[in-house]
């Protein structure tokens, strides 16, 4: 996640440098293309981060569910041991 943040930050910095006016009063076509490419890349990275967060949340739900089942199995096992011990 840290790498994604660094990449996005780098893209924003580069994009902001492209927007700063140079000798001309408007950006060149090449600069506009680079800026648009950067914007598309940032949007794609944001979507990827969102997708990974959703995947992480789903995995955490699965882990919680499995931990609940494990606790129930342990409780059942303990109940059986107690019943057999008496």
**pLDDT, tens only, 20-59:** 555 567 888 999 999 999 999 999 999 999 999 999 999 9
User: Helix (H, G, I), strand (E, B), or coil: what is residue 13?
Assistant: helix
Among 20, 41, 40, smallest CA distance to 31 is for 20
Mean pLDDT of 48-77: 97
Predicted TM-score (pTM) of the model is 0.57
Q: Do 45 and 54 touch, CB atoms closer than 8 A?
A: no
The span from the first CA to the last CA of the chain, in angstroms, equals 54
Residues making up the chain, counted from first to last: 86
């Amino acid at each position: 996640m840290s790498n994604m943040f660094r990449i996005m930050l780098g893209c924003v910095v580069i994009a902001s440098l492209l927007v700063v006016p140079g000798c001309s009063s408007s950006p060149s076509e090449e600069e506009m293309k680079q800026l648009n490419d950067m914007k598309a890349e940032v949007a794609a990275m944001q979507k990827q981060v969102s997708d990974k967060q959703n995947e992480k949340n789903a995995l955490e739900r699965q882990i919680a569910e499995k931990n609940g089942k494990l606790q129930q199995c342990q409780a059942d096992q303990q109940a059986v041991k107690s019943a057999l011990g008496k």
